[in-house]
Every structure is written in structure tokens, then in C-alpha cells.
Chains A and B, each alone.
Chain A
Amino acid sequence: MKILTGNDLKSGAVTWWDGTDWSLHVEHAVDAGEHGEAIIAREQALQNVTGAYVVDAEKTATGVRPGHIKEQIRATGPTVRLDLSLKPADRDAGNWVI
């Protein structure tokens, strides 16, 4: 599946496209299919997100997981400061990359 990630313009927080808005939680991410770039163009023009891009991901039994370690760390926060991470609802999220 193809999911979308970017940063909230004001706060810089990592966000994920949930189909209607940008969520802080990767498990809310939806498959954008072939529409990723169009959604990004529209959403960036509306100032809802900045630095957005398309990410390969897979849907697992416990939720959506980005395919590459870079986006896995985006989703979970720095692996060396898990105390600062926005822990996703997926209780295994912090273990993806450790």
C-alpha cells in the first residue's frame, strides 16, 4: 500500500494522511493508491501539511507499518528517546526498529 506522510506546518509534527485529514498516528494511515501526489499537492496548497511524500507500507494484523526504517522511526520517534515518542496505539510500534 502507499501511505502519505508529512509535517504539520505550524508544529512540525509528523503526520499521516487518514483519508480526510492528517493524523499523528501511523495506524490511521490509509492507502492513497495512485492519488498520493495529487492529495499532497492539494493539501500542501491548503497549508495543511509541508514536506509531504509517498511511502511504501504494509498493513499488518496490528496496523499499518511503513516499509523502510526511516519512516518507521518517523512513526515512532527517536529509538534512543522513546520517552519522547508519541507512542502509537499499536503497542508493538516501538519494537519495529529496535
Chain B
Amino acid sequence: MYQYDTYDQAMVDARVADFRDQVRRRLDGSMTEEQFRPLRLMNGLYLQLHAYMLRVAIPYGTLNSAQMHVLGDIADKYDRGYGHFTTRQNIQYNWIKLEETPDILADLAKVEMHAIQTSGNCIRNISSDQYAGAAADELVDPRPYAELLRQWSTFHPEFNFLPRKFKIAVIASDTDRAAMRLHDIGIQIVKNAAGELGAAFYVGGGMGRTPMIAPLVRDFVPLDQFVTYAEAALRVYNRYGRRDNKYKARIKILVHELGKDEYTRQVEEEFAHLLTQNIEPPLAELERIKGFFADPAFDTAAPDALDRSDPDFALWLDNNVAAHKQPGYAIATISLKPTGGIPGDASADQIRLMADLAERYSFDEARVTHAQNIVLAHVRKADLYAIWQALDAAGLATPNLDLVTDIIACPGLDYCSLANARSIPVAQKIAQRFSDLGRQRELGELKLKISGCINACGHHHAGHIGILGVDRKGVENYQLLLGGSEGADTSLGQITGPGFDEDGIVDAVEKATNVYLGAKQGDERFLDTYRRIGMAPFKEAIYAKEPAHG
């Protein structure tokens, strides 16, 4: 994985020193909260419902074991013994003290980490495919391109005060595992007819209160121009984005209001101009970065055979282990969704254990997924049983990847000052209702996502089943959506109708799954059946009047 050079380290160290001084001035009263707020947000420090919350950047979700150990140690030393992995492949801590924040940032800087640009109207952490470098279906590892964009976007003077926050994802396979088209810019590394690599740009996607799927604005940008194209796309947005209205300030609104063709025309015009300015980083820099993402030294003699005699291990293999491009290896996903647990939370001990497993069995590397799980991307099949045993002993071997209990949930009203309703208790109740693994497997792939407000941090628009918590006259109420998807077949969920209370939404989810099981044909997933039969049968079952008793 990428390692800082002296410039990277100097920038991060300088930021720690800057922030230490800013915190000192805030605490001694020489800076007001109004003055301090944008500065703390630029360093990922929010004031949340119960305390300060610090969001730490994990570029494209990739971590080494030393970094993970520090994340675990921070949870113990400065927080309350746990951290929360987020849908932006980051981690956040919920109980941070302002006076200790500079020390936390200093600890992070020692392992080449920071919290820069994890908040504010700037380019946020760039996300990518958690199977990058391991999946057989990718053209190339997308992370060098994400890393180049990280370097370009960090402290970019023109883009530090955008109309709104800005999210970029980079993938390199047709199987989209990063919700690419639901980003402000989604980039897919592709090949043209001549066999050359380039970047396809999708611009103007996003969730939030106005969900939109990003349209393709350029199907091929040569790789020696792709940063320039990103610059052009951002520049048009920065110039014309709606700064007058926070709710209309995302690029998706600009692309929608201008129309894809007019937005593209303006970007192409800007792109042509920028090409004359020679702003593209030299290809040598991209090649230097690629060197950090070369394949690890795989054991070419690693056996493919697996002993499946332990039935619990076999279940985990079937649910949580994916094929690897290298014979004898596999990709293992550690579920952070135990039944009744809090999606995405991990204790300090669990974080350190995952770090140790990454170091010992996965070439010292782990990935955070946007679905709030952890991936060990390069595991010898022969080591899977030992890994599973260690995970099982730590409560980390729940075999539910992409099943109905592998729920994405935002922190909701339990932690978030913006939320209207709690998300986590709903996720817990649904997980309890469907706790029988046989039932989960019968339902198959079913992505359920819950947000506690319209900001959609829980990606409810993209859930096969989505749940949106709202405040109805001071009472939590939950709307049900069906038919969303974040993959290559991206679609937005549709609301079924009137909302439910906390128990009612669990019942409604169960009724929707019953409709699916009754109507399913062949190997159809829930989403496939929904798309074939439409909303009506689901709606009918969900809102059917209970028969009167007696």
C-alpha cells in the first residue's frame, strides 16, 4: 500500500501543529466557536449529540496493521473502547475530548493517518472497491488512481471551499462494489477498442434529500489526462454550483438543472483550456504510486483445497469468502454485523485482533468496506480456518455478508445531532427477527440499508430494502423503500407508502420478504423479483388490514 513521502508527512505534521495551536486558542478564549467551527470541521471534528466526534480518513479504505493498531489504541486511550466504521470507508469515534484531539491527530500522523477533509465543503475521502487488487474481474487495481486523486485533492486551493461536500469513487471492474454511480464523481477505469486504459467519468450522482444516479459524461479519458478532466468537472461545479441554497448546492443539482449535455459541454470546454495549462501530474508519479500497489509475493504453491468438515466454518466460507484472482488465495470479509450488535462498531480489542490477522495472514493489509465491514483481501485458503477460529472467538465470524442482517445503518439519533430517528435499534430488531441463518440464506442476497434522516448516510435509497427514519410530530416514524441498488445495476428505491413505528417497520420488512419468497422464480434475488413484479404486490401485503379477531 501507499507510503508517505516526505511531502505527505510534512503536510500532515504541519496540520497537527496548526490544529494544536487552534485548539489552544479556542480553549483560552481567543477564538470564538464561530471562528473555530470551520477549522475543527476541516480536521474531521464534529460536535455531535453527546460529545465531539472525530472522523478519521482511511484513503480508499485501505489500512495496514500498524494503522489499525493505532485505531484500536485511540479507541481505548481517548474514547470509550470502540470505534465506528462508516459508509465512506472511514472510522469515527463518538466520545472525543477537544483538549485531547491534537494528541490523537499526532498519534495518527505517526502512522501516516489524519482526519483532514473528512468534513467540510471539500473533496472528501476517496473511496474504492474493497476487493481492489484481489478481484479476478478488475482490469487493474483502481487504488493508484484513487491515491493520485487523493494527492491532487488534498489541500487543493481551488477546491477547499466548494458549494458543498464532494465525494469521489474509483473502481476498475464492471461489478461495482463501491456505489460508484451514487457519487458526485464516479470514475471507472476502462479499456478502449485499442486496448488502452482510460477513465470513464460519471458525474452528478448522490443520495441525500435528492437522490440521483450519475450520468456518464465521458466514456474515455486517457490516463495521462484524467486528473485534468476531474479538475475541469470540479471547476465548472465550483463556478456555477448553487451557493445560495445549501439544499441545492451539490453537483447533482447543477448537472440536473443544466442538463447532462450542457454540463458536459462546459466541462469539455474547460478541459480543452486546462490541457493548455499542463496541470496533469507527470505519468512518472502515477507509475511511482503504482509501485506501492504491486501484487504481494503470493505463494504460487498455495493449495486450493479446503477442509469443510466443520459445518460452522463451511457456512462462513459460503457466505463471507469470495474468489481471489490468485489460485490458492481467497478474499475474506469480516462482518461487523453480529445479531443484535451495532452495525459498523468494533471494540478496541476487535480492531487490534483484525490488525493482527491482517499482519499475519493478509500481507499486512485490511480494507474497510462501504457496507461497514472489514476485508482481508489476500488470504491463503489454507489459513482460512485459523482466521475463522480467531474471528469466531472474538465475535467476528457472523456468516451474513450481503444477507438481510448485513445491514448498513447510520448512527442515527442515538449519536447524530442531525438525525430525526434512531437507526441502530431498528437494525437490531430486524437482525433479531431474521436471526435464523437458514431463513437468511433462503432470502439470499438482500441489501437492507437504514438512514435516520434525509441526509441518507445509511444509503437507504440504494437498499434492496431501504428504511428512512423521519420525525412525525416529535415521534420517530419509518418509511419503507423497495428496489434500490448500488451495484452495476444502480437504481433508487421507491417509497411504499405511509410510514410505520419501530415495530411496524420490522413487520413491514418481514411482509416484503414473504412476498418475495412467494413470487420468486428460479435464482431470482429479492431485487430481481421486485423488478419483475413491481411495487403493487408488496404494497398490498404490507398495508393489508389485519383480520379482526373474535
Report A's interface with B, CB cutoff 8 A.
7, 9-14, 44, 47, 50-51, 67-70, 73-74, 77-81, 84
Contacts and interface: CB of A to CB of B under 8 A. Distances in A.
A19 to B, nearest CB: 23
Given A9-B27, A12-B97, A78 B415 contact: yes
B444 interface: no
Contacts of A74: 49-50
A61 to B, nearest CB: 22
Nearest to B48: A12
B47 A50 contact: yes
Interface in B309-352: 342
Contacts of B342: 80-81
B474 A69 contact: yes
A70 B418 CA distance: 10
B270 to A, nearest CB: 40
Given A78-B415, A84-B80, A7 B51 contact: yes
A68 to B, nearest CB: 6
A41 B95 CA distance: 25
Interface string B3-47: 000000000000000000000001101000100000000000001
B413 interface: yes
B407 interface: no
19 contacts: A7-B52, A11-B51, A11-B98, A13-B50, A13-B51, A14-B49, A14-B51, A47-B27, A47-B29, A70-B417, A73-B49, A78-B414, A78-B415, A80-B342, A80-B414, A80-B422, A80-B424, A80-B425, A84-B80
A47 B26 CA distance: 9
Interface of B: 26-27, 29, 33, 47, 49-52, 80, 95-99, 342, 413-415, 417, 419, 422, 424-425, 428, 474-476
A47 B98 CA distance: 13
Contact of A12 (B98, B425, B474, B475): B98
Contacts of B50: 12-14, 74, 77-78
A12 B52 contact: yes
A67 B428 CA distance: 26
8 pairs of A and B residues whose beta carbons are closest in the complex:
A12-B51, A12-B52, A78-B414, A80-B424, A10-B99, A11-B97, A47-B29, A50-B33
B474 A68 contact: yes
A22 to B, nearest CB: 14
Given A12-B50, A51-B33, 11 more contacts: A7-B51, A10-B98, A11-B51, A12-B95, A14-B51, A44-B33, A67-B474, A68-B474, A70-B417, A73-B422, A77-B50
A13 B47 CA distance: 10
Contacts of B474: 67-69
A73 B52 contact: no
Given A12-B97, A74-B50, A79 B80 contact: no
Nearest to A84: B80
A70 B51 contact: no
Contacts of A67: 474
Contacts of A13: 50-51
A11 B51 CA distance: 7
Contacts of A47: 27, 29
Nearest to A78: B414
Contacts of A70: 49, 413, 417, 419
A77 B413 CA distance: 10
Nearest to A80: B424
Nearest to B419: A70
A51 B428 CA distance: 31
Contacts of A79: 414, 422, 425
A9 B474 CA distance: 28
Given A68-B474, A70-B49, A80-B342, A9 B98 contact: yes
A7 B417 CA distance: 12
A73 B413 contact: yes
Contact of B96 (A12, A14, A68): A12
A69 B476 contact: yes
A69 B97 contact: no
B460 to A, nearest CB: 19
A73 B96 CA distance: 18
Contacts of B424: 78, 80
A10 B52 CA distance: 9
A70 B421 CA distance: 8
Contacts of B425: 79-80
B266 to A, nearest CB: 40
Nearest to B53: A12
Contacts of A69: 413, 474-476
B420 to A, nearest CB: 8
A10 B36 CA distance: 13
Contacts of B97: 10-12
A9 B101 CA distance: 12
Contacts of A81: 342, 414
A58 to B, nearest CB: 13
B414 A51 contact: no
